[in-house]
Amino acid sequence: MKTSIALLAALLAAGCSQPAPEGNVAADAGAPQAPAAPVAPRPDAPDDAAAGAPSAFPAGKWDMVSSGEGDGLFFGVVEGEAATAHLFCPADGGLLVNVNAFRPVGSEERMTIGSGGTAVTLVADPAGDANRGGVSGTGPVPAELAAILTAPRGVSVNYGSQDVGPLPPVPADTARNFVTGCTD
């Protein structure tokens, strides 16, 4: 009988534990979680692994769009899905970074974008971004923007305890065109 009770207690304890969350977005407790992006191995992972770069990034690609309103760069996971991260340089100057999976935190007014040891801080609206969804951060175009976008460690965005990334490095030509659009 004692063995049966001990076995039942062990099974109940094991059944109550929850697996650790997966994916690239760590959100506040109780906030809805975005689906995890599929991860594809990078063909150059062995070379970058020695430099501390992740061996895999989420599948997807960086795309750039320019118009009279400004220049936009976004990382999309799957065609037809909302992009994971948007970067926008309005024609009148500055940088806006939006992550639609982030949930507003009333006490958090900072967002960072960076790669490795290089990060810049943006001012985030703790009420969220009603136009784009999620949370956006704004600030001047940083001098380090090209280095952040093309670093082998990939691009990461942080807002409070929420993170996206690392996303793959932006292709050099795309990053150059985006930074030029942001600074001209």
pLDDT digits (tens, 9 = 90+) for 35-55: 333 333 333 333 444 455 555
Lowest mean pLDDT among 9-13, 66-70, 104-108: 9-13
The strands making up 95-99's β-sheet, listed across from edge to edge, are 61-67, 70-76, 85-90, 95-99, 135-139, 118-124, 110-115, 155-159, 162-167
Cα separation, 128 vs 85, in Å, equals 15
Cα separation, 73 vs 149, in Å, equals 10
Q: Which amino acid, 112?
A: T
Tokens of 182: 């942001």
Phi, psi (rounded to 5 degrees) for 8:
-60, -45
Cα separation, 119 vs 121, in Å, equals 7
Per the model's pLDDT, the better-predicted residue between 180 and 7 turns out to be 180
Question: Do residues 148 and 37 touch, judged by C-beta distance below 8 A?
Answer: no
Q: Under CATH, which architecture does the 39-183 domain have?
A: Sandwich (2.60)
Q: Which amino acid, 85?
A: A
Q: Who's near 100: CB < 8 A, 6+ residues apart?
A: 82, 83, 84, 86, 132, 133, 134
Lowest mean pLDDT among 18-22, 64-68, 90-94, 113-117: 18-22
What confidence tier does 76 reach under pLDDT thresholds 50, 70, 90?
Answer: confident
What confidence tier does 118 reach under pLDDT thresholds 50, 70, 90?
Answer: very high
Longest dimension (CA), the chain: 79
Tokens of 104: 């507003």
